[in-house]
Amino acid sequence: MKNLAFSRSSQGFTIIEILVVVLIIGVLSAIAAPSWSGFVNARRLSTAQDQAYRSMQEAQSNAKRDKMTWQVSFRQLPTGSAQWAVHDASITPQANAVSWQNFDPSIRIIGNNPDTRVTDVPHRVQFKYLGDVNLPEKGTLTLTSVHSPTAKRCVIVSTILGAIRTAKKGEAGCL
């Protein structure tokens, strides 16, 4: 026969063992949380950069397809929301006919001068029917995050022929 007292005492975990495991999980979580937060913020910023880049490519493609001037507009609303819209250049961006798309709520648009912000008056890039840029539209769109304002991503229209590229802070063309 089994000794019931012996088998009962060897089952389960003690309160000290459970506390040690909880403490280890807490320490590991405290170490990982800032890294995870930084990773998430970097992904949001990269996603916004990709959205801006693709919107410029879409406007350029539409201009070539339709043989007319197309425009991509960017604006920063007073509420802090940043938006973009791709539309026919003959349509005023403030018109209700333009379908504005939202960036992530943490994304902000910075003008070429770091002290200025793009407001409700849109920043724009126009592409003519051959896909070239309607001067003086050449320039840089700089995006940042409210969670890490020193991190910046840029979308750059670098030539009058309509070459579009991306860059990170510190790379050529992105301050």
Interval 76-85: pLDDT, tens? 888 888 999 9
Identity of the residue numbered 168? K
What is the average pLDDT value for the chain, to the nearest integer? 83
Helix (H) or strand (E) holding 139, with range, is strand 139-145
Domain with residue 66: its CATH number is: 3.55.40.10
Encoded amino acid at 15, one letter: I
Count of structural domains within the chain: 1
Flag whether 1 is in a domain: no
Half-sphere exposure of 20 (CA within 13 A, CB side): 5
Q: Establish if 5 belongs to a structural domain.
A: no
| Structure token digits, residue 109 | 């648009």
Of the chain, the percentage scoring pLDDT greater than 90 comes to: 35
Provide the residue count of the chain: 175
pLDDT tens digit sequence for 124-147: 888 998 988 887 656 788 899 988
Q: Are 158 and 165 in contact (CB under 8 A)?
A: yes
Band (pLDDT 50/70/90 cuts) for residue 114 is very low
Domain range for 77 is 14-168
pLDDT at residue 70 greater than cutoff 80: yes
The amino acid occupying position 105 is: P
